[in-house]
Amino acid sequence: MTEGLGKLPVAGDKLAGKYTILRVIGEGGMGVVYEGRHDRLGQRVAIKVLREAERKNPEVVARFEREARLAAKLKSHNVARVSDVDVLADGTPFLVMEYLEGVDLDFELTQRGRLPLAEAVGYVLQACSAVAEAHALGIVHRDLKPHNLFLTDDGDERVVKLLDFGISKITQEEPDSVTLTRSSLGTPLYMSPEQIRSARVADRRSDVWSLGVILYELTTGRPPFDGDGPAAVIAAITADAPTNPSELRPEMSRGLADAIMRALEKDPARRFQTVVELAEALKGFGAEGSWAPPPLHTSSQPRITIPDLPRISAEAITMLDPHAGRDSFPDLGESHAPVATSARPAPEPAASPQRRSRALLFAALAVLSAAGAVVAWRFSQTGPELASSPAVAAPPVTAPAPAQPEAARERPAAPVVTPANEAPSVDAGPRAPRHKAVVGGARVGAPVPSAVPSPKPSAAPPPPPPQNPDNPLHL
């Protein structure tokens, strides 16, 4: 049979044309959980279907689907994964989860009683990992209890899987739901005082309370609040102070007992404000590796990065020489201009007065040693050229030539002339250190200025006559 109309599925039924129902593995007030099989993948799955009474409520159905979609976004290893949401032929929704083998913590408590302290804390820390991720997505569970913490084996490790995210808060208020049997008190036993008064005001701190109750019960073997009936339990939760767990478990450290008691503060403002805070307080008492921060949920939107534009800041110029200007950086070129190279040598910069005087003195000595009016006449013709010669030879470079401005952000920076006795330095740091300047996005060494600032260079002299490389003084 395929999808019984108005009835719950039975073994052999097919759902959505791809799942086959194998057997019932659990039942609750809201629905039935089946073991199923994905026909094409051959994978075992768990399928939860709403009961007929619930499927008639449009609000319940809509919230069931919404919570299923939210649960499908959770990435934590400690969450039972939701892989699909669909509807039966009559519109009844169902959700498909990973199939788990193991037992829940409620069964574990029944079989073993109170657990070793490190084991109990480790289970709660794993639950914290799942709940913290849910809170990050805006999901408040509101029904945390041992029955919803499932233990399964993953190799040699026992893993806690959190079930039923947000499902409890979509049920209708039913005054008769709290019966006299203890088994039906599962939810009230773990509810916070504010949730008992109004489920609408319960926030993530209500989940902190529930985790505190669970840890209290795992370590002491009994819940912190109990009574002869539902009314007594609710009264204890809202009015009574719990017995310190260290009185029931003498070997419990004070730090662990204090963390549990803080989680059970009746005033939400005095509790741990987040599950992460609770986990940080507990992680020193559990097995190593039990607590893992919730996974990051990155945006699916593409990220666009705009690189910094190459620039020479006024601050960088001031660091080099407070009196310096653009002309103090003859080797840097335009910071935003594109660069094109030429085969012609670059024109030499005009010499400063100080350098010209020194060069004239050397030239005069050379003239005197050679003697003669011809030498003096030649010197008068070539003096400016000699004066413009640098004190230290620099390697030849190519001259910048204009190019299209649009390429300024894509083309390499202008070449830098570096004196032979000063090697260029490159700094990849985010800020330019002293005596460095930014050129085309990279940082290169700039000559340290002398104590006496240099005035702006004078106009370039007319081109000199051709030189004989074997007779630089034109003698």
64 and 87 part of one domain: yes
pTM, two decimals, is 0.58
- Centre a 10 Å sphere on the Cβ of residue 183 and count the other Cβ atoms it contains: 8
Q: Is residue 143 part of a domain?
A: yes
Give a yes or no: residue 324 inside a domain.
Answer: yes
Domain CATH for 191: 1.10.510.10
SS3 2: strand
Q: Which pLDDT score, from 0 to 100, does residue 461 have?
A: 56
Q: Judge if 350 and 289 occupy the same domain.
A: no
111 within some domain: yes
Query: Look-up: residue for tokens 């088994």?
Result: 183
In a domain, 286, yes or no: yes
**Mean pLDDT score of the chain:** 71
Q: Choose the most confident range, by mean pLDDT, from 14-23, 323-332, 354-363, 448-457.
A: 14-23
Give yes or no: residues 359 and 344 share one domain: yes
Structure tokens at 179: 């019966």
Most confident of 185-199, 203-217, 223-237: 203-217
Q: Which residue has the higher pLDDT, 244 or 376?
A: 244
Report the alpha-carbon distance of residue 88 to residue 226 in Å, rounded: 42
Lowest-pLDDT choice from 57-61, 262-266, 425-429:
425-429
Beta carbons within 8 Å of 151's beta carbon, 6+ residues apart: 102, 103, 104, 105, 108, 123, 158, 159, 160, 161
Q: Does the pLDDT at position 208 exceed 90?
A: yes
22 has a pLDDT exceeding 80: yes
pLDDT at residue 185 tops 50: no
Say whether both 293 and 271 belong to one domain. yes
* pLDDT: which is higher, 300 or 39: 39
DSSP 211-261: HHHHHHHHHHSS-SS--SSHHHHHHHHHHPPPPPHHHHSTTS-HHHHHHHH
For residue 56, the domain's CATH number is: 3.30.200.20
Average pLDDT for residues 444-471, to the nearest whole number?
Answer: 51
pLDDT digits (tens, 9 = 90+) for 261-275: 999 999 999 999 999
How many residues would you count in the chain? 475
Q: In this predicted structure, what is the pLDDT of residue 416?
A: 46
Are residues 14 and 124 located together in one domain of the fold? no
- What is the spatial distance between Cα 168 and Cα 154, in angstroms, rounded to a whole number? 28
Both 16 and 90 in a single domain? yes
Strands 19-27, 14-15: pairing kind: antiparallel
- The continuous run of DSSP H or E covering 207 comes out as helix 204-220
In a domain, 180, yes or no: no
Average pLDDT over residues 194-223: 94
174 φ, ψ (degrees, to nearest 5): -125, 105
What Cα–Cα distance (Å) separates residue 323 from each residue in 354, 382, 418, 449? Answer: 17, 32, 22, 10
Q: Are residues 380 and 407 in the same domain?
A: yes
Site of tokens 């893992």? 292
Task: Give the Cβ contact number of residue 2 at 10 Å.
Answer: 13
Please report the pLDDT score of residue 446 as a whole number: 44
Specify if 70 maps to a domain: yes
Give the pLDDT confidence score for residue 91 in this predicted structure: 82
Last residue of some domain: 59, 77, 99? Answer: 99
Confidence (pLDDT) at 294: 58
Least confident of 284-293, 422-431, 466-475: 422-431
Tens digit of each residue's pLDDT (9 = 90 or more) over 114-156: 999 999 999 999 999 999 999 998 888 888 999 999 999 988 8
Rounded alpha-carbon distances, angstroms, from residue 213 to 147, 168, 217, 222, 247: 13, 18, 6, 9, 16
Q: Is 143 a catalytic residue?
A: yes
| Same domain (yes/no): 257, 378 | no
pLDDT of residue 70: 76
**DSSP track, 356-414:** HHHHHHHHHHHHHHH-SHHHHHHHHHHHHHHHTS-SS-----BPPB---GGGGGTSPPP
Residues 22 and 58 in one domain: yes
What is the β-pairing status of strands 442-445 and 436-439? antiparallel
**Whole-number pLDDT of residue 73:** 84
**Residue 378 domain flag:** yes
Of residues 347 and 307, the one with the higher pLDDT is 347
Q: Can you give the residue range of the structural domain that contains 10?
A: 1-99
Higher pLDDT pick, 155 / 473: 155
Task: Show the tokens assigned to 298.
Answer: 């990155």
**Predicted pLDDT of residue 67:** 72
The residue type at 388 = S
Q: Work out the average pLDDT over 174-192.
A: 53
pLDDT tens-digit readout, 323-354: 444 344 344 334 333 434 444 444 444 555 55
CA distances from 69 to 20, 63, 81 (A): 22, 10, 11
Q: Are residues 192 and 236 in the same domain?
A: yes
Catalytically annotated residue among 13, 143, 164, 321:
143
Kindly state whether residue 193 falls inside one of the protein's structural domains.
yes
Q: Of 46, 77, 99, which closes a domain?
A: 99
Domain count for the chain: 3
Cβ atoms 83, 96 nearer than 8 A? yes
* 69 and 123 assigned to the same domain: no
Residues 284, 325 within the same domain: no
